[in-house]
Structure formats: structure tokens, C-alpha cells
Amino acid sequence: MRGNGSWGTAAARAVRFARRTLRDEWQNIVMEPVRQLVRRGLSGIVLAFVAAFGVIFFHGIAQHPIGRRMVWHLGGVTADLPLWLSLLRTPVSLYVPALDLPVWAGITQLFLAFALAELGLGRARTLAIAYVTTLAGTMTARLMVALGPGWWGFGLPPEVGRVLDTGPSAAVVGLFTYLAVVRRAPVVFTLTGGSMVWESIAVPNLAGREHLIAVAAAIVLGLMHGHRLPLPARLVERLGTPPTPPWSDPPVYRPGPPRHPVPSFRLP
């Protein structure tokens, strides 16, 4: 009887914990952005519309041979490109979808990720997280190809360097992971990170590795959220110099006591 009671108590606690977790996650991930959307209107998800229409635009152009070549020269990123060219094309690669994936499902995920992040984090931080996570995956892929086969499975053969970059999918994964870490949403984190781990195991390719790197970069950025000191304070703390005092008004002139002439001796 005591064993059945302890199991029942543990099950009730687990149910209450799961219910409280789901309720908090629903409030933080869904309801709070919806309130922001009602308050700000469609102007609060401009970035999401731009990202979705950008993917639709580049996907439509890539259906023709000339357009596909143009899209490649604008936003095609591979690991065998020169570094400066890869960095130049990376911002545009956020809107270049993979041609072998269903574009409309990707656009839905892209719009949802950018909309939730823009409403909850702001446009500047959303763009920063999307770019940093995509760039982390791209740079790590270059490192893997540069190392070559071996290295305990970390390195990649040179022919992988000609595979097209993941495009906007790494940014989507990074944004969902960052939101899950910042908003303390374990369900979204498990769905995002767990799906990427399963993808990398089931289909071991370059895209799966880049997605895992995007998840890791988003976790690090999420853990750093709210713990960053302002740049001037960090510089002052590092250099050990006192901060510059603020500017003040010029001193006010106050007349002192009258001065009497001092007698001087004159030579004849």
C-alpha cells in the first residue's frame, strides 16, 4: 500500500509539474507575442514578412536556369569559396532555400520563427541571432572540410566543400533554440534540438552538422542573455582606470575681497 501511495504521489507531482511547465511555456512563447502583435499590429512582424517574401522571391527566380545562376552568385555559399566571398554572400544566403526541400513548409517555419523572435526580442537582436547562428554553421563547415577526413569523425572530405549551404534553415533552428533558452521553454528546446540530433543521426550530411552547430551557438548566446556588461564599463574594468567624470557647467565667478596696492620703492 505504501508503495502504491508513493507511486501515486510521484505521478501527481509529475502531472502538476508538466501542467505548470506547459502553461508557463504557452504564456511565454505564444501568448506574450500575441499580445505584442495585438498592441503593435502588423508593424511588429515586418521582419518576418521580409524574410518570407525574400525566400519566395529567390525560390521563384531559381526555377529558371539564368535565375538559378544569378541566385548562386548572390547568395550561394559553399565551403570551398574564398572566405571574403563567403562572408559577403552569407546575409543573402538567409533567403536562398535549398532546392531539394519543400519550400512552403520551410517558409511557414521561417515566418513563425522570425515573427516570434521579432515580437519577443526586437528586430536588431533577431537579425543578430539569425546571422550569428548561420555564420557559425558556415564557418564550422569550412573548418571541417579544411581538416579533412578523420579527426574522430569531425573532419569532412574535400568534395563536401561543393555542397550548398543550409540557407535559412540554420537561422530558423537558431532562433527557436535561442527563444527556448531565454524563455525557459523545455518543450520547444526538446523539439528543436532533439529533431536536429535525430536528423544528424538518421541522415549524416553537412546540413545536419551545420544545424547542430547553429543549436550550440544559440544555446551559448541564450546563456549569455542578460549577463553582458556595457562596453565602456568592461573597458574601464579591464584597464583599471577610473571612469571619466561627466561634463559640468563652467565655474561661476565670485568676486573676492578688494586687493590693496602694495607700495614699491623707487630708486632716485
Concatenating the DSSP letter of every residue in 143-168 gives: HHHHH-S-TTTT---GGGGGSPP-TH
Q: Return the pLDDT at 228.
A: 53
Of the chain, the end-to-end C-alpha distance in Å amounts to 127
Q: In the block, which residue shows the cell 515573427?
A: 115
Average pLDDT per block of 10 residues along the chain, 268 residues long: 63 77 82 88 89 88 87 85 88 78 76 91 91 91 84 77 80 92 87 79 78 91 70 44 43 50 46
- The grid cell for 133 is 547562428
Q: Say what the pTM is.
A: 0.77
Residue 200 is classified by DSSP as H
Contact 213, 137 (CB under 8 A): yes
Query: What is the pLDDT at residue 5?
Result: 60
Let me know: does 101 contact 31? Beta carbons within 8 Å: no
Q: Is residue 92 a contact partner of residue 131, using CB atoms and an 8 Å limit?
A: no
Residue 4: predicted pLDDT:
58
pLDDT at 257: 53
| CA nearest to 180, candidates 239, 140, 120 | 120
| pLDDT of amino acid 131 | 92
Using CB atoms within 10 Å of the CB of residue 199, give its burial: 0 to 12 exposed, 13 to 18 middle, 19+ buried.
Answer: middle
Exposed (0-12), middle (13-18) or buried (19+): which is 242, by Cβ within 10 Å? exposed
- Helix, coil or strand: residue 136: helix
- By residue count, the chain amounts to 268
Q: What is the pLDDT of residue 246?
A: 44
Contact 130, 91 (CB under 8 A): no
Integer CA distances (angstroms), 64 to 70, 76, 98, 144, 256, in order: 10, 16, 15, 32, 87
Whose grid coordinates read 524574410?
51
pLDDT of residue 50: 92
Q: Measured between alpha carbons, how far is 191 from 173 in angstroms, rounded to an integer? A: 10
Sign, CA dihedral 230-231-234-236, equals negative
Going by the DSSP 8-state scheme, the letter that residue 94 receives in this structure is: T
Which residue type, as a one-letter code, is found at position 152?
A: W
